Structure 1
Amino acid sequence: MRKIGIIVGLLFLVLLPLMAAERDTLECPVRQDSSLIKTLFNSSMFKGNTQDSLIRARHERTFFHRLGKTFTTFFREFSNIDERYIEPQHFNYTVMLQNTNTYEEYTLYGKEGQRISFAPDPSWRLGPYLGWRWVFLGYTLDLKHINTKDNHSSKKEFNLSLYSSLLGVDLFWRQTGNDYHIQRMNLGDHINTDALRKVSFDGFKSSIKGLNLYYIFNHRKFSYPAAYSQSTRQKKSAGSWMVGLGYTQHQLEVDWDKLSAIVDERLNQKTKQQLEAKIDSSLMFSKVKYSDYSATVGYGYNWVFAKNWLFNASLSVGLAYNHSKSGDPEKDKFDLKNFNFKNFNFDGVGRFGVVWNNDRWYAGASTVIHSYNYHKDHFSTNSSFGSLNIYVGVNFGKKREYKNVK
């Protein structure tokens, strides 16, 4: 978004001088009173060229005028709402206390039907936020590990969601720590793997970073900010279709020797299995790196079920193309010769929220869940992560136009 803003700003800086120059060019011949210039302009030598220049200048002026008007109309749409359905924000500032809970899970599927799921301990964060109009900044502290000496320094997370009436943007980056455990493991129909459930495993590493951009069609009546950023209020129920684009980079790495040792210790040595438990060799990849390009379509609905209350549910499904990476820049270049329809998969994003907002005070909860899939002939993966936010806040500092509104 910052790059887009810079590009648009530079474009306006370029267009304004050009528009002014065209205006001066058109006005300049009219202001000339010299008989010599009139004689030259009326001569057959310059008449054709002058007329062509005027027509070309008039055409260029019309083009720049229309282009400028298009940009102006587009940016006005960001705040163009139907106030019968949406109440604008009356305040400049807000203070909020928010609890954030995050969860993620990675599941690996082998060619022979084996399945292994890894998940970290859920995080529990709490912290204050301060907002000014559309700028909202804050910090949350991981209370679960505040007094422990566990090494979670490698676990990093960044999430940013920007919601306007017209467009929405999700930016995220997640890198695992060392607090993963085996959530589930299926090594065969006749092998009991209960002894492996919730066993700590620090041999799993993953990272994901990406961007989701989506356009809301019925943005004059349907407000995403009302459900997820409390910058407006939904007064009447409304829904909207939406389309979007997404890009993510994924990386998975498993220490299979360490995992096999845990299987031997927990199953083959301590339990009496009819068959020796072994991990399918097709699952034993060294590292998986791939990019995910997706086009999404979805629908969201804001249900105003009582005064000052709102419930939102939305779901987007994306058709995604996965492009594997090997670490070699030359091999990783996207080439149409390597295009394969088997690389298409389906991704999904779900959002749910409930809000109470009386214009000054607000409270609520919201969750966002992402799901990604990756399939190859010998194995496949599914990754999902999400966050649950519970918050309470107050708005203050009324805008000038609403100071007389009770």
Structure 2
Amino acid sequence: MMFMRKWGFILAITGIFFCTDLFAQIQNDTTYFERFTDMVTGRLYFSRKYTGLDIRDRLKEAPLLRYRPNSTLNMGVGASYDVFTLNLALGFGFLNPERGKGDTKYLDAQLHAYPDKWAIDGFLQVYNGYHLVPEGEFAEESQHYYYRPDIKVREVGASVKYVFNGEKFSYKAAFLQTEWQKKSAGTLLVGAEIYGGLAKGDSSFIPKSVMIDPSRDFDKLFFMEFGPNIGYAYTLVIAKHYFLMGAASGNIGVGFTNQYGLEKSTNWSVNANYLLKASVGYNSKRWAVNANYVYSKVRLAKNDDFNNSLITGNYRLNLIYRFIPSPKVRKFLDTINPYQYLE
């Protein structure tokens, strides 16, 4: 959220998740990973989220247009206990010096939850204000960036995958830090995804300086896609404490795109989308440090020789310390733990 950017700071609630398992908790193989259900996992972290729009005209003389938001680099603190996680972050001014990109107002809510045997990703993006990258691309001499405050992007999506080897492979160790992967392991992933949204501006997305044929230009896209996915995730563990994790899943999305210019055009197609995750770091009983990245690309159905796509990213650096809470603190945490009500 960036509505307070003019005053030099932003309050972003980056996660208040009751990540309760839909089924009874599985018995994990403790030689592969260890759980820290009786400890509080505290974290200091830095993060940035973004959702961009790529416009690709298949005509050879047309350039690729990459619209990106001016989202903030946030610094925050968080804690996890059992299945409960709370993260709070601020986009401090000293972390975000102005560089002529133009203002972006946004709400970017991303859910990345890992109940036993499942990986769930949810996206809700509301962005107003975009610039073209790289710096200077089609910008006037007095500007660093070509800036469009009128461009808006809205996207809602979800990806759900079944984790076949959940007894030995831990997503939480790489991304939530509430577990510790001690031995290398991998797993097959199978599930489904759905995405929908729109992008629009007050005028054509294509700058006047590179317009080839004004009759082909457009100022609004509306899309919907859904379909199955399949993927694989693997964590390489070195000397028990150091790890490198990667996950990739592909989605065959069936859907349509409405493109609005001088006339409305609609096209249905099958598109190959993908979701990538990576994490690298050090883990131990008390201390951990890692960097992770989530990247999603949703291709829209081709309209009038335009291949457009939405790009979503989220990268973080986490510094972790785990500790056993006092009896009073543990009693309080147990009272708000939603897992206690599940059988």
Normalised to the residue count of structure 1, the TM-score between the two structures is 0.65
1:43-62 alignment to 2 at 5 Å? none
Structure 1 position 308, deviation (Å): 1.5
Q: 1:101 to 1:365 in 2, by over 3 A?
A: same
Shift of 1:167: 0.5
For structure 1, the 5+ residue unaligned runs are 9-73, 186-191, 264-276, 328-337, 401-406
Aligned to 1:236: 183
298, 307, 321: which one aligns with 1:372:
298
Distance 1:158 1:377, change over 3 A: closer
For 1:348, the equivalent position in structure 2 comes to 274
Aligned to 1:291: 224
AA in 2 matched with 1:239: G
Contact 1:248 1:293 in 2 (8 A): yes
Query: Per-residue displacement from partner, 1:150-199 (whole Å, max 9, x unpaired)?
Result: 99573111112111330111112111132x212269xxxxxx95869832
Q: Structure 2 matches for 1:160-309, cutoff 5 A?
A: 160-178=111-129, 180-183=130-133, 198-256=145-203, 260=207, 263=209, 277-281=210-214, 283-309=216-242
Change (3 A) 1:352 1:283: farther
1:165 and 1:222 in contact (8 A); partners too: no
Q: Is residue 2:77 matched to residue 1:128?
A: yes
Shift of 1:282: 5.7
Matched AA of 2:201: V
Q: Give the superposition deviation at 1:392.
A: 0.9
Q: What are the superposed Cα offsets for residues 34-73 of structure 1, whole Å, 9 maximum, x if unpaired?
A: xxxxxxxxxxxxxxxxxxxxxxxxxxxxxxxxxxxxxxxx
Per the alignment, do residues 229 and 157 of structure 1 end up closer, same or farther by CA in structure 2, a change over 3 Å counting?
same
Judging changes above 3 Å, is the alpha-carbon distance between structure 1 residues 343 and 147 closer, same or farther for their aligned structure 2 residues?
closer
Point out the structure with max Rg over C-alpha.
1
How has the CA–CA distance of structure 1 residues 297 and 257 changed in structure 2, closer, same or farther, with 3 Å as cutoff?
A: closer
Distance 1:258 1:315 in 2: 31
2: CA distance, partners of 1:111 / 1:217: 40
Q: Which moved more, 1:150-159 or 1:342-351?
A: 150-159
More strand by share: 2
Given candidates 346, 361, 374, the residue that maps to 2:287 is: 361
Aligned residues: 297
Q: Could you tell me whether the CA contact under 8 Å between 2:50 and 2:312 is conserved in 1?
A: yes
State whether residues 159 and 192 of structure 2, in contact with CA within 8 Å, keep that contact through their aligned partners in structure 1.
yes
Residue 314 of structure 2: aligned partner: 387
Q: Could you say what the CA RMSD is over the residues aligned between the two structures, in angstroms? A: 3.4
SS across alignment from 2:174: helix
Higher helix share: 1
**Retained in 2: the 8 A contact 1:154–1:176?**
yes
Whole-angstrom CA distance in 1 between matches of 2:240 and 2:299 = 40
C-alpha distance in structure 1 between counterparts of 2:257 and 2:207, whole Å:
26
The percent of aligned pairs where both chains have the same amino acid is 21
Give the unaligned 5+ runs of structure 2.
1-16, 261-265, 328-343
